[in-house]
Chains A and B, each alone.
Chain A
């Protein structure tokens, strides 16, 4: 820790490589990871200190101290200390287990082996013993557990590919290169440890996770404050009562008793009484509340972990509740913020369809010749003849294979283009299998498709591309590489085939490419255009494919101009762009490809179901607008039925404001015309009354906003406009947003809508959003861990969100609310009898019950039944919860537990306490036992009251429990049985003989509970306290049945003959909407390829190609660095943390 303090001042580090003695002078931190909080010695003091920092525990400690003052001690010390110790122990055990796991994971990371150069020899050393300045040898596929400086590598030019999945969730390899000076040093990857342990960038950036609390938590705290206030009020009333009583009666009574010592000023006596009553009435603020809530949440978390329906066998990943304190909030979600890639989509691109020369391939037709969806029954194309085929690739249309066999030149050309025009790198793994390293999954899909159809991309050098065309190796000379960028939206290669023909192959966005076509393509263009629309309608990502034959002379001229342009000093980029434009024209259209950005399983159903549950889903993605919209359509978030889709894409604040204004106007305008056609002058009024109008908006709207606009829109003055607009829209898509903006959007909704938000994502760019939302969900099972580490819940598939919210969340909320209602009711009923008794015992702070009963009531007699209800209760079963998403709405509207409900519970408790006190009081007032002996003694009264109370609250929990499992039976009957057995034990002769002063109630249970009269009193009390509740509930269900009530009735009716549940068939979107262009790769890899820097030295041909001369080795590295700054920022975060 000393080191981290020093770190604040640290400006530079002086490190001598491989010189431990020198480096030790600086006392840099060691490389041990510490995420654990305690060790065996510090556990008790630190943990206790932490626990007593909590208000509730501190309060009970304060009570305990109060109780030790004899003047005001109205309860013996054990009534508070027993529950307090129990609560503290339970929490401590939980903390200890948590810390145990942290120790374990720390050890696992710390004990990983590394090879360190010590005394000139490579030695195995645990990562935790690595020191700053050590030189480490890393081999392929090894974990890195420190910030390292790359000295050299076995790859050419000191390049090194690293995966940063554990940091940012990105599984693609990132290129790092050693300093030129050091790169010559060694053959293997060696690195110098730069920062260790707590000094690593990751540990420095990990920051404290914000402590999340649920709205129920906050409400509970407010209510506890209310209860404190209520408690103080009661205390004051009783204290005043005591003062008056002392003055009028007490003084004389005391003097009669010769109680001289006890004599005191009546006001002072009132003051003491106040504190005494605070002690007695403290049970209204139940100490076991917090711990019970924790237990229930823990139970719910385990149910999530155990749910087989949320287990993804594909990745062997069960759902995991990483935070155990937020469960009931899952039942109150109003906004879901979802990432796209990896969350909604699988980030797997599959080549689905293509249109070649006006013919569609890839459509599956059934016997009647009608299009059908691809089903498993259909036989996929058999690629087994092709040894290079990728096993996982499936294609269901045999026509394409036949066309290839028939030698259709257009089809061949099409596939050849796919095999040639890309930035994919190939390599062979140890088994001789061809592996593609792809920068963009789209390209990977296309190249893989070509490979399976017999046009296998084999290898490339900076000047050549070798492909295997239907079994024969063909090497093409790569003449020029016209790279992709955002403006061009296309890429082309110019190659010379073995016959000497020069061809330009181009693929790109249809909108762009179609403008470049040769006029002779008119007919084909219309046809292909139709096909593209069809593809787009199915949510596929499309590219248009075209080629051009170039003659030698023309190319040479052009190439010369390109060389000139490249060496030009001014306007170089513009000139090159112009030249690219020049050559990419008069293209011959070949067709189009359709790649499916595969949605995760069940996304559409989940989205539909969640929107039925009135959950608004916002997609926040870093992707381009077109892609985002495309996915929006693909998963039914955007539909053609929508009245309007507002697109905000302005680049300046003014533009954005204007666009927002227009959208709003449009919204209100349309709405007006929909509703009843107001006249124009009312328009302004309507705008002013936006919040009112919001409720009356008809029709579905969607909002698409991009990152630039969002940055402006998030500025304070337009923020509200944006929010207002966005919240009126059914779907909101934010594209091109930065991680920070994601968080800002979440914060915006959180702050101004007061709604419960959930963010779901899978990558490091979602971490900020996950952290700032009320609930963060991480998609697990992928390589990356960052999102999962920051999340509160994690599971492998987006579709489990439906079950998490609609089943687990709903149940959790429902149970928690029921639990709280009952808990407050119980404690009011239990405690307030002391208040009523105060009026009959001279406000002397005498408790009604036996001290032992007070001690045990909350923790033994009544804790388990309510816990069982809180953990197991179900109003409707999980299937119905899923089928009727509307059931989710009470949670969003906060209907099941709020301040009003609390007041009702309180009133219920007060009523019960009145019945509990006054019925026995009336009956005891002039009563005598069956044997004539007196009955109205304090002890009998206490036993009667206690027994009535236990029975009344047990009957009440029995009524509240709607799902009676074995556990409920055992706990409810068990609690009553426990009560009676403890009662009889404590009132037994034996225990009195041993502790006469602690158990003075000897024989009381036997005597009182054999009296008919007492049982009549208990029975009447029970009837009187329960009947009104039953009547009230009956009328409520009868008059205002909730959906849940109706379903329960139906569920009951259907129990015997359950009809087969039929899902509504999903209506496929038949869209005329033209898909946007979806090209997912970054600019700049073309340079990497043509420069050859990433190719093995042995593969490097000796001659210098045309392109080679254009770049020197440093310039491309500079370019690369410039273009990949966003990924470079994570350069030194090479710290592996596997928790």
Chain B
């Protein structure tokens, strides 16, 4: 079909690669060896990654103490909303030990089966002690833990069970423009916590802010039988930089209380937002770190949020030394009302972040499956190779 262009220049389609569907292209045609080697490589990678992740997760430490039941009396007090102004504190002693790292893991299951409740509480990986005496102690103090001494940074989290921060209505019930400080009275999107009964806009408005986690947790270290010292904790650095410096701003004014004039506190808060931390203006108002952390809503109903991190000074330069500790909790957050639970978590980190085995296991399983698939594919391929007709035999015109 060779045509001269003069033939009929207007109607003869142009001879371009696109129009003639002759665009230069590479045809994706993976060979058997390519696919199989790809599979083997992926398998190796996944297995390797899985092992590394598991090992590093094991090298990190985590201890979780569920204090819902321990502080049952406080919980009961908080169930009645009228007691909101009554103080209630609760102390949870526990023991950190430096030894038995390997043993700790091997006894984990035994201890757990022997004591279901502890198993629930120790949902992560704090190894239980094999010693029956410790178990007794365990019940009495509600926590004796034999752990490797924490090196490096230690982070303290609070963890909530059954708290749905991801409910559609809850998630929406906030005002970013108010939190940005541009318009304190912009509470449009905060329903149902936008205005108080008398019509004053709430600051910070919305369900998220209203349900702010307000327990105070203090970790103290039993230096010896009589001296308890408070473990120094840092509040800074627990928020995302963008949250602290971009997303949350206080309204500009000479002082905070005047900046929030014309607004009222959220109904369940004991004090207004500008009194969250009167000592540190950088931590007050919307810039309060605990507030910012809370406002970054969790994806799942079980979540932990960073509360404090260890200030590595004095005794704690290398982390938390082994010994006896206690959490002193000022119990304000009423979880039992919605059948939730709360716990406090101490954890160290690995290179990839938190102490979680899941990713390591998932990689290992994926790697193993990939290898399995690769082997079976290779078997099938080799078996068929001899038998199969060559394409020329089959393709006949």
Contacts and interface: CB of A to CB of B under 8 A. Distances in A.
A561 interface: no
Interface string A249-268: 10011011111111000000
Contacts of B165: 938
B28 A959 contact: yes
B3 A841 contact: no
B257 to A, nearest CB: 24
B23 A1013 contact: no
B20 A1043 contact: no
A1051 B27 contact: yes
Interface residues of B, number: 108
A840 B306 contact: no
Contact of B157 (A885, A928, A963, A1017): A928
Nearest to A932: B155
A258 B353 contact: no
B287 to A, nearest CB: 15
B204 to A, nearest CB: 14
Contacts of A316: 7-8, 11-12
A964 B27 contact: yes
A996 interface: yes
Contact of A1027 (B39, B164, B176, B354): B39
Contacts of A926: 124, 304, 354-356, 358
Contacts of A886: 395
B306 A318 contact: no
A311 B3 contact: yes
Interface stretch (A187-195, A977-985, A997-1005): A997-1005
Nearest to A1034: B35
B46 interface: yes
Interface in A479-513: none
Nearest to A807: B21
A1046 interface: yes
Interface stretch (A299-307, A339-347, A393-401, A570-578): A299-307
A919 B365 CA distance: 12
Interface in A874-919: 874, 878, 883-886, 919
B109 to A, nearest CB: 19
Contacts of A933: 237-240, 306
A1035 B267 CA distance: 63
Contacts of A1004: 242
Interface string B14-33: 11000111011111111010
Interface stretch (B96-104, B216-224, B318-326, B333-341): B333-341
A1088 B171 CA distance: 93
B149 interface: no
Nearest to B295: A937
B334 A256 contact: yes
Given A840-B301, A932-B155, A1007-B242, A927 B380 contact: no
Interface string B376-388: 0100110010001
B46 A257 contact: no
B359 interface: yes
A122 B170 CA distance: 84
Interface in A1005-1048: 1006-1007, 1011-1013, 1016-1017, 1020, 1023-1024, 1027-1028, 1030-1031, 1034-1035, 1038-1039, 1041, 1043, 1046-1048
A931 B309 CA distance: 10
Interface residues of A, number: 110
Contacts of B369: 1027
Contacts of B162: 249, 253
Interface stretch (B67-75, B112-120, B131-139, B344-352): B344-352
A929 interface: yes
A257 B211 contact: yes
A934 B351 contact: no
B176 A1000 contact: yes
B353 A930 contact: yes
A954 to B, nearest CB: 14
A938 B297 contact: yes
A308 B15 contact: yes
A883 B396 CA distance: 10
Contact of A1017 (B164, B176, B303, B359): B359
B247 A992 contact: yes
B391 A1049 contact: yes
Contact of A1003 (B246, B355, B356): B246
A1054 B347 CA distance: 61
B362 interface: yes
What is the interface of chain A mostly: helix, strand, loop, or mixed?
helix
B329 interface: no
Given A842-B301, A927-B354, A1043 B395 contact: yes
B175 A997 contact: yes
B192 A612 contact: no
B19 to A, nearest CB: 4
B24 A965 contact: yes
Contacts of A929: 353-354
Contacts of A1002: 242, 246-247
Contacts of A74: 168
A43 to B, nearest CB: 30
Contacts of B171: 846, 938
B258 interface: no
B207 interface: yes
Contact of B7 (A249, A313, A1006): A313
A377 interface: no
B169 interface: yes
B177 A306 contact: no
Interface in B143-192: 153, 155, 157, 162-171, 175-177, 179-180, 182, 189, 191-192
A614 to B, nearest CB: 13
A967 interface: yes
Contacts of B395: 884, 886, 1043, 1046-1047, 1050
Contacts of A308: 1, 3, 12-13, 15, 19-20
A154 interface: no
A664 to B, nearest CB: 32
Contacts of B140: none
B397 A884 contact: yes
B225 to A, nearest CB: 32
Contacts of A975: none
A1041 B397 CA distance: 17
Most buried by A among B53, B175, B191, B296: B296
30 contacts: A252-B339, A253-B164, A262-B169, A306-B19, A313-B7, A316-B7, A318-B12, A612-B397, A840-B299, A841-B164, A844-B164, A874-B21, A878-B21, A919-B362, A928-B353, A928-B355, A936-B299, A937-B298, A939-B296, A940-B299, A962-B27, A996-B176, A1002-B247, A1003-B243, A1031-B377, A1038-B380, A1046-B395, A1047-B395, A1050-B391, A1052-B29
Given A872-B21, A1000-B176, A1031-B373, 20 more contacts: A249-B338, A253-B167, A262-B169, A276-B168, A313-B7, A313-B8, A842-B164, A925-B302, A925-B356, A932-B306, A935-B354, A964-B25, A989-B246, A1000-B247, A1007-B242, A1016-B53, A1016-B352, A1016-B363, A1020-B359, A1030-B35
Interface of A: 74, 249, 252-253, 255-262, 276, 302-303, 305-309, 311, 313, 316-318, 612, 811, 840-842, 844-846, 872, 874, 878, 883-886, 919, 921-942, 958-959, 961-968, 989, 992-993, 996-997, 1000, 1002-1004, 1006-1007, 1011-1013, 1016-1017, 1020, 1023-1024, 1027-1028, 1030-1031, 1034-1035, 1038-1039, 1041, 1043, 1046-1052, 1064
Interface of B: 1, 3, 7-8, 11-15, 19-21, 23-30, 32, 35, 38-39, 42, 46, 49, 53, 124, 153, 155, 157, 162-171, 175-177, 179-180, 182, 189, 191-192, 207, 210-211, 237-243, 246-247, 267-268, 293, 296-306, 309, 334, 337-339, 347, 349, 351-356, 358-359, 362-363, 366, 369-370, 373, 377, 380-381, 384, 388, 391-392, 394-395, 397
A-B complex: 3 closest residue pairs judged by Cβ atoms: A1003-B242, A928-B354, A316-B8
